[in-house]
């Protein structure tokens, strides 16, 4: 959906989107580890979609959000989540080392990737998320 919005609003193009499998295509989308591992492919230009979203809107893109039902989790659970979050932020160097070995990328690249992740929903994140949801609705996506 993000790619479709960017195509329409940022690049003013309307490409045909279809699964390609192993066929050749003019352009294709990789996500997750595949996107990180394929830093470049001969003959193709690489575009980071979060960067393109920021170029279009001046706002961060929200890729995921955690929700819990009110009253569904105890105060103990909430404290565990908070402690896990704080411990995780401190553990980025260790995660980077482990992840770099698992996905075969340089440690400094993975470390930079993790440090650029934002785990708080501030006003800019809320505005970016709402703009995305409205853009998807307006584009009938």
Specify the pLDDT at position 75.
Answer: 79
pLDDT for residue 139? 67
Per-domain boundaries in the chain:
1-63+121-141, 66-119
Q: How confident is the model at residue 21 (pLDDT cuts 50, 70, 90)?
A: confident
Name the range with the highest mean pLDDT among 62-71, 105-114, 121-130. Answer: 121-130
Q: Does residue 104 carry a pLDDT above 80? A: yes
Q: Residue 141 pLDDT > 90, yes or no?
A: no
pLDDT tens for 55-98 read 999 999 999 887 777 777 777 887 888 888 888 888 888 888 99
Q: What is the mean pLDDT of the chain?
A: 86
Q: What is the DSSP string of 75-119?
A: HHHHHHHHHHHHHHHHTHHHHHHHHHHHHT--HHHHHHHHHT---
Dist. CA 83–CA 89, nearest whole Å: 10
pLDDT for 53 beyond 90: yes
At 84 the pLDDT is: 86
The alpha carbon of 71 is separated from its chain's Cα centroid by a whole number of angstroms, namely 29
């Amino acid at each position: 959906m993000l790619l479709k919005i960017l195509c329409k609003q940022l690049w003013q193009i309307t490409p045909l989107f279809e699964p390609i499998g192993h066929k050749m295509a003019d352009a294709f989308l990789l996500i997750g580890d595949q996107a990180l591992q394929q830093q470049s492919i001969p003959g193709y230009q690489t575009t980071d979609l979060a960067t393109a979203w920021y170029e279009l809107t001046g706002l961060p893109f929200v890729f995921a959000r955690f929700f819990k039902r009110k009253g569904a989790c105890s105060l103990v659970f909430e404290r565990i989540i908070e402690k896990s979050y704080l411990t995780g932020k401190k553990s980025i160097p260790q995660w980077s080392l482990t992840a770099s070995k698992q996905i075969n990328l340089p440690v400094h690249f993975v470390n930079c990737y993790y440090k650029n992740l934002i785990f708080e929903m501030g006003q800019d994140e809320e505005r970016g998320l709402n703009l995305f949801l409205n853009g998807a609705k307006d584009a009938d996506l």
